[in-house]
């Protein structure tokens, strides 16, 4: 009897985890026009999907872009891993003469960037 209860609990736990994973999906759209790279992030940026952000930031770094415009209006939250990716990119990007500007942000992201004082490194605009 104990085994059946344990299996049921594990099954329910997996269902719960899958549901949470579906809720934290993130998409990134990246476009280039001249020396401007525009990146729009939708969803929640966390440690499970930060590698997608890293791939897009690498594309920007390898391009001739000197300005990265981030649209974070539909980004509900950014984990410490996501913040770390952005900061490492910022360091490398400014060393090659680049700039970052958050052109739009959600309230939660704006508050997070302000609390971390990232608005002192680059412009962060609220929607």
3-state secondary structure 48-86: CCHHHHHHHHHHHHHCCCCEEEEEECCEEEECHHHHHHH
pLDDT for 72 equals 98
Sorted by sequence, the CB contacts under 8 Å of residue 55 that are 6+ apart come out as none
Residue-wise over 105-123: b if at least 16 C-beta within 10 A, else e? bbeebbebbeeeebeeebe
Multiple choice CATH, 24-124, 3.30.420.10, 3.40.50.300, 3.30.750.24, 3.40.50.150: 3.30.750.24
The residues spanned by each domain of the chain are 24-124
15 pLDDT exceeds 90? no
Q: Rounded mean pLDDT of 11-39?
A: 68
119 pLDDT exceeds 70? yes
pLDDT for 81 equals 95
- Distance from C-alpha of 88 to C-alpha of 2, rounded to nearest angstrom: 49
Reported as a single tens digit per residue, the pLDDT across 71-110 is: 999 999 999 999 999 999 999 999 999 999 999 999 999 9
Vertex 59: Cα angle to 54 and 61 (nearest 5): 90
pLDDT for 127 equals 84
Residue 49 has a CB neighbour count (10 Å cut-off) of 21
Q: Provide the whole-model pTM.
A: 0.79
Reported as a single tens digit per residue, the pLDDT across 63-76 is: 999 999 999 999 99
pLDDT for 79 equals 95
Residue with tokens 């090659």: 96
pLDDT for 22 equals 40
């Amino acid at each position: 009897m104990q085994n059946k209860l344990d299996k049921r609990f594990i099954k329910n736990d997996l269902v719960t985890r899958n549901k949470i994973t579906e809720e934290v999906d993130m998409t990134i759209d990246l476009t280039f026009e001249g020396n401007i790279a525009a990146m729009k992030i939708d969803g929640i940026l966390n440690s499970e999907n930060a590698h997608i952000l890293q791939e897009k930031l690498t594309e920007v770094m390898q391009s001739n872009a000197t300005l990265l415009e981030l649209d974070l209006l539909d980004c509900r939250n950014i984990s410490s891993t996501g913040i770390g990716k952005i900061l490492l990119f910022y360091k490398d990007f400014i060393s090659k003469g680049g700039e970052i500007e958050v052109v739009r942000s959600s309230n939660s992201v704006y508050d997070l960037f302000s609390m971390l004082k990232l608005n002192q490194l680059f412009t962060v605009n609220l929607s």
